[in-house]
């Protein structure tokens, strides 16, 4: 039988059969794939936003051990939640998880539709589709970066994937070819993502020889796959200079709490001020905090990269006398561990532990 000519419009219809057969043979065994429990799937999806699978595995296990149900998460003390999230970054995800858990607990269970899920804090288009399909067998296409890459290569689509219209078109195209029965629906999104994560990879050339779509992929046939997807260059990150003070007094270090909104809201940090201060100006800043410098110990620089901003930090370690602002806390090594200090301050955190040993 003569095969129908492949086009951008019809090529995706060929995908589901070979893709699902490949997935059954090749899928990585990940804990959130062994469940249809919306709570467990939801926690995994939130953790996997912006974070690699390998980094999530340990956090996922510890988190579910601490909070085995949506009610347990809803009632968790915030400090405990933040402590378990420490190091994963993007802390607003943890806060939104708890807000959403409270809403779900109040409703008596998870909404079972895309539209219902979308109303939960921290749940966007992609996450709502991923949960609706994997937990409830709803025919909703979940489109993340992996899926965008696979689909633009398969269909030889050269539209800018940072343009929301491209994502919308891809979503519509994928949804049109999703399997009709629940068993296929539950794994189809995962299978497309898995193909993007392990075969049609983001860095380096796609592994077309191992791909179930190799015979009909337009990007491979036309030789364009490696130049896809098209992404317009992103704006450069804003650089913020900061001076961080690791203030030590009688075996304790000073911590202050970040404001309740904005970047790293509500977490603990070493006191810091805007700008890269030299030692003379830094000494004045210490005085202005109500402290007397007893001994300047060292100067440590560090850099931390967030999505839209980069912190360039100059840090001073010094022993002081005086109390500083009333809202600060002076903590010993155990106290430091009990506070959620974001990884942006990792270098100073390590130094504080080192100093408190001696
Ligand atoms: Fe990607 Fe190659 Fe598979 Fe096409 S054949 S989807 S380019 S890995």
Q: Determine the distance separating the centroid of ligand 1 and the alpha carbon of 114, expressed in angstroms.
A: 29
pLDDT band at 1 (very low <50, low <70, confident <90, very high): very low
Q: Which is catalytic among the residues 5, 25, 45, 106?
A: 45
State the DSSP code for 49.
T
Given a cut of 90, whether residue 348 has pLDDT beyond it is yes
6, 214 Cβ separation under 8 angstroms: no
Q: Three-class SS of residue 31?
A: helix
- Residue 352's pLDDT is 97
Q: Determine the distance separating the centroid of ligand 1 and the alpha carbon of 33, expressed in angstroms.
A: 24
Sign of dihedral through CA atoms 273, 276, 281, 282? positive
Partners of 295 in beta bridges: 319
Given a cut of 70, whether residue 218 has pLDDT beyond it is yes
Q: Determine the distance separating the centroid of ligand 1 and the alpha carbon of 136, expressed in angstroms.
A: 29
Residues with a CB atom less than 6 Å from ligand 1 = 150, 153-154, 199-200, 206-208, 211, 213-214, 217, 219-220, 225
For 49-62, what is each residue's pLDDT tens digit? Answer: 888 899 999 999 99
Given a cut of 70, whether residue 4 has pLDDT beyond it is no
Q: In the CATH hierarchy, which top-level class contains the domain 7-227?
A: mainly alpha
Whether 45 is catalytic: yes
Domain chopping of the chain, boundaries = 7-227, 238-355
For 227-258, what is each residue's pLDDT tens digit? Answer: 999 998 777 889 999 999 999 999 999 999 99
Residue 149 Cα: closest atom of ligand 1: 1
Residue nearest atom 5 in ligand 1 by C-alpha distance: 214
More confident position, 262 or 312: 312
Sign of dihedral through CA atoms 78, 101, 189, 306? negative
Q: Determine the distance separating the centroid of ligand 1 and the alpha carbon of 144, expressed in angstroms.
A: 17
For 64-95, what is each residue's pLDDT tens digit? Answer: 999 999 999 999 999 999 999 998 888 889 99
- Give percent above pLDDT 90 in the chain: 87
Residue nearest atom 2 in ligand 1 by C-alpha distance: 208
Provide CB contacts within 8 A for 113, sequence distance 6+. Answer: 132, 136, 138
- Residue 50's pLDDT is 81
Residue 227 tokens, joined:
């130049």
- Residue 357's pLDDT is 84
Which long-range contacts (C-beta less than 8 Å, at least 24 apart) are formed by 275-279? 275/241, 275/242, 275/243, 276/241, 276/242, 276/243, 276/312, 276/314, 277/243, 277/314, 279/316
Q: In the CATH hierarchy, which top-level class contains the domain 238-355?
A: alpha beta
pLDDT band at 2 (very low <50, low <70, confident <90, very high): very low
Residue 47 tokens, joined:
């953790």
Given a cut of 80, whether residue 122 has pLDDT beyond it is yes
pTM: 0.69
Rounded Cα distance between 159 and 137, Å, is 30
Residue 150 Cα: closest atom of ligand 1: 6
């Amino acid at each position: 039988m003569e095969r129908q000519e492949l086009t951008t419009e019809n090529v995706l219809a060929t995908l589901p059969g070979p893709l699902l057969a490949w997935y059954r043979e090749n899928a990585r065994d990940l804990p959130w794939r062994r469940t249809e429990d919306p709570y467990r799937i939801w926690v995994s999806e939130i953790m996997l936003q912006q974070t690699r699978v390998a980094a999530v595995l340990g956090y996922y296990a510890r988190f579910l051990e601490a909070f085995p149900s949506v009610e347990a998460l809803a009632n968790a003390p915030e400090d405990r939640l933040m402590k378990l999230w420490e190091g994963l970054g993007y802390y607003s995800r943890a806060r939104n998880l708890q807000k959403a858990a409270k809403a779900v607990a109040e409703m008596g269970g998870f909404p079972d539709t895309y539209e219902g899920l979308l109303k939960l804090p921290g749940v966007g288009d992609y996450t709502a589709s991923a949960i609706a399909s994997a937990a409830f067998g709803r025919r909703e296409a979940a489109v993340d970066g992996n899926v965008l890459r696979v689909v633009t290569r398969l269909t030889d689509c050269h539209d800018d994937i940072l343009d929301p219209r491209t994502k919308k078109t891809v979503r519509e195209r994928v949804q049109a070819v999703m399997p009709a029965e629940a068993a296929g629906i539950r794994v189809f999104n995962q299978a497309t993502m898995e193909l993007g994560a392990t075969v049609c990879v983001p860095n380096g050339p796609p592994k077309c020889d191992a791909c179930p779509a190799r015979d009909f992929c337009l990007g491979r046939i036309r030789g364009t796959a490696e130049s896809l997807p098209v992404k317009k260059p992103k704006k450069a990150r804003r650089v913020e200079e900061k001076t961080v003070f690791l203030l030590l007094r009688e075996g304790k270090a000073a911590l202050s709490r970040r404001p309740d909104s904005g970047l790293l809201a509500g977490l603990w940090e070493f006191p810091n001020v805007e700008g890269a201060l030299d030692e003379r100006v830094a000494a004045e800043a210490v005085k202005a905090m109500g402290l007397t410098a007893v001994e300047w110990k060292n100067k440590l620089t560090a850099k931390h990269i967030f999505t839209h901003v980069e912190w360039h930090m100059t840090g001073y370690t010094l022993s002081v006398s005086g109390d500083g602002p009333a809202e600060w806390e002076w903590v010993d090594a155990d106290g430091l561990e009990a506070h959620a200090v974001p990884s942006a301050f990792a270098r100073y955190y390590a130094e504080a532990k080192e100093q408190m040993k001696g």
